[in-house]
Chains A and B, each alone.
Chain A
Amino acid sequence: MKLRNPDREVEVAGGRTVRAILDELDVNPDTVLVIRAGELVTHEVRLADVDVIEVRPVISGGAS
């Protein structure tokens, strides 16, 4: 499955929870929105190989 964030796109294996995938990518779940097909998905949701996910950082260092 594809993961997108503003800077890059990666392929990872599906069939796992959002939490497990964020763990593998060393991403703190409190710092990102996880979006699939225009909807937010929570950490226990199981993602499939065919899914395309946006991992959107929420932390800002300046004005927001």
Chain B
Amino acid sequence: MIEIRRNNAAYCKPCFVHVFREQVRRTIARHDMIAAGDRILVAVSGGKDSLALWDVLLDLGHDATGLYLGLGIGRYSERSRVVARRFAAERGAALVEVDLERDYGFDIPTAGVNGSRSTCAVCGLSKRYVFNRAALDGGFDVVATGHNLDDEAATLLGNTLRWQTEYIARQAPALSAKDGMAKKVKPLHRLSELETAAYAFLRGIDYVVEECPLVAGNTQLRYKEAMNAIEAGSPGTKAQFFLGYLERGAPLFATSDDVELRPCGRCGQPTTARFCAFCRARAQVLGERLGAPVEELELAGELAEEVMPAEIYGRSR
């Protein structure tokens, strides 16, 4: 049994699983996220959201291949990889594996030490970069990520507190393909973190419960705690905030999102600058020169559709 307070309802196990899947199915249809025959690349971390998403997409009959990116964060990454592989094996699903160290010469802990950006910032931009490249190289039609309602509400909160209008404008459940950027969708964006956790648990999915060791006390967590404190007193606030933004706020910010993308001078991936954020971050971590000075503020303008809290401006602590 599980209670969902904002729905003012309690569900038995089979009903909850059914309702969860239905919500995802409708969300996909409502935002034209996936066309018939689309090859989907699901970004899989081994956590509850990405595995719940992959599980639902497979059950809905979609062609969904997982992509796991090894971040080099010690035992946490080792366990995450094992969990992702096991899920794929059990479901008979394909899993693509990329490794940051093997394929790009650095890992996240090293980036946190050698670079000026926080580890969360480098992790985020590395993931987005790798997902996009893998989608284009592998001929996938769409990248799906497991962002849930709590994630989106916290991100919107962080960006609104600092009036990052370009980021706010780009926060959407579905982003069309453009200029070398694959289509990106977030089918779980209407579901709370509690619901995705409950779904994963009730489906008997073995997921990584423990947190990334580098995350402790980061900005995203503080925003989530703040939102949950408000939610405790006023159930439904997270949904009203983020889903209400999509309906009534997004149109007001639309004109802030005019960026011109061109190929990175080093790798060819889309960027608003001469070199993309990933190449610049990587060069800084490895002590290489790309031929252009690395600017923090340039990076901020760079982070295409995703939005990140204060980490992008430097170390969070």
Question: Contact residues of A with B, CB < 8 Å?
Answer: 6, 28, 30-31, 33, 35, 40-43, 56, 58-64
Contact = CB atoms under 8 A, between A and B. Distances in A.
- Size band of the B side of the interface? 35 or more
B50 A63 contact: yes
| Max count, chain B CB within 10 A of own CB: residue among A28, A58, A62 | A62
Given A6-B209, A28-B229, A40-B202, A59 B3 contact: no
| Max count, chain B CB within 10 A of own CB: residue among A30, A42, A43 | A30
B198 A59 contact: no
Contact of A62 (B5, B123, B209, B228): B123
A62 B1 contact: no
Interface in B262-277: none
A59 B228 contact: yes
Q: What does DSSP make chain A's interface, helix, strand, loop or mixed?
A: loop
Nearest to B235: A30
A34 to B, nearest CB: 10
Interface in B34-57: 45, 47-50
B118 to A, nearest CB: 12
Contacts, number: 80
B193 A61 contact: no
A42 B2 contact: yes
A33 B201 contact: yes
Contacts of B231: 30
Given A40-B1, A42-B1, A43-B3, A61 B212 contact: yes
B146 interface: yes
B5 A61 contact: no
A6 B212 contact: no
A28 B192 CA distance: 14
B284 to A, nearest CB: 21
Contact of A31 (B13, B198, B212, B228): B228
Contact of B232 (A30, A35, A42, A59): A30
B210 A30 contact: no
Given A6-B209, A33-B201, 13 more contacts: A28-B232, A33-B197, A40-B2, A40-B13, A40-B198, A58-B194, A61-B215, A61-B218, A61-B220, A63-B212, A64-B48, A64-B50, A64-B146
B215 to A, nearest CB: 4
B127 interface: yes
B49 A61 contact: no
Contacts of B48: 58, 60, 64
| Max count, chain B CB within 10 A of own CB: residue among A35, A60, A62, A64 | A64
B229 A59 contact: no
Contact of B201 (A6, A28, A40, A64): A40
Contact of B228 (A28, A33, A64): A28
Contact of B45 (A58, A59, A63): A63
